[in-house]
A and B are shown apart, each in its own frame.
Chain A
Amino acid sequence: MSETADRVKKIVVEHLGVEADKVTEDASFIDDLGADSLDIVELVMAFEEEFGVEIPDDAAEKITTVKDAISYIDEHKG
């Protein structure tokens, strides 16, 4: 597992208060991890802060699974 993946999962666990083993790469934030739309906004803010990337709204809308977040961050972090 990549370093990005570790850090993303840690943020998801902290923000959503879910068990670490539920945060698989295929897990959907809303369908599998019980996030609501405001949780998604907060997660995106937390990713931006943790990785120093900017995630614009149109990109954020496409991030629905843990894997989506990891891929976006890996492609865009400096």
Chain B
Amino acid sequence: MFDLTGMTALVTGASGGIGSAIARGLAAQGARLAVSGSNAEKLAAFRDSLGGDHVAVPANLSDPAAVDALVPAAAEALGGRLDILVNNAGVTRDNLAMRMKDEEWQQVIQVNLEAAFRLIRAAAKPMMKQRFGRVISITSVVGQTGNPGQANYAASKAGLVGMSKALAQELASRNITVNCVAPGFIRSAMTDVLPEAQKTALLGRIPAGDLGTGEDIAAAVVYLASKEAGYVTGQTLHVNGGMAMV
């Protein structure tokens, strides 16, 4: 089950904590990857660490022209086929709403939501032709629950969920599924910077009693990317140790 041999995938934000785990998970199931990220050097090192014939396609997702060029570049590097798109790249610009600058709002919406839309729009073309596609966007538990200081981030993540449901309906007849995976608190660069007291308080709210790992997220992505998940679309799979049950 969940064999991805012969399938190709584009993963954004692939050199980050969760993104690299997702890339490793997809590669381990046999998919051939185009990994993307904004830091070309870090990305090349990550591609090399994967082994195999995966390709690195750097892109700055805050530049709409670069976003529009990414899917065609990745598809070409992968031999013209694109089966799986994982919108994982995300940024935070946390601030209380009353202090939030326009740029902080816009940057987060642009990278987390608008870039994802542009990438799906472009990926739908080869996927429609193939009569097969898997789109998986990494959202967040805070898109459902909200979080003070993250009006921009929560809006972008909730936006991904609504957008995915609309696209799932548009594309279902072509055997293209569009789903989200919503991590709770996962060990990553984002959670490492939290103060210890806040981490302790967080753990108290997680029935599983621990933070999640990138591998927990990767497993959910692998499932949704697989042929076996073909009847699942427009859904959000929450992977959060029980901290929010929705």
The chain A residues found within 8 Å of chain B, CB to CB, are 36, 38, 41-42, 45
Contact = CB atoms under 8 A, between A and B. Distances in A.
Nearest 5 pairs between A and B by C-beta? Answer: A42-B128, A38-B173, A38-B170, A45-B125, A38-B174
A45 B127 CA distance: 13
Contacts, number: 12
A62 to B, nearest CB: 22
Nearest to A42: B128
Contacts of B125: 45
Interface in B90-106: none
A45 B126 CA distance: 11
Contacts of B129: 42, 45
Given A38-B128, A41-B128, A42-B129, 9 more contacts: A36-B173, A38-B170, A38-B171, A38-B173, A38-B174, A42-B128, A45-B125, A45-B128, A45-B129
Interface in B125-161: 125, 128-129
Contacts of A38: 128, 170-171, 173-174
Contacts of A41: 128
Interface string B183-210: 0000000000000000000000000000
Most buried by B among A38, A42, A45: A38
12 contacts: A36-B173, A38-B128, A38-B170, A38-B171, A38-B173, A38-B174, A41-B128, A42-B128, A42-B129, A45-B125, A45-B128, A45-B129
A12 B157 CA distance: 39
A38 B171 CA distance: 8
B130 to A, nearest CB: 12
Nearest to A37: B170
Contacts of A45: 125, 128-129
B81 to A, nearest CB: 16
Nearest to B170: A38
A41 B176 CA distance: 15
A36 B129 CA distance: 16
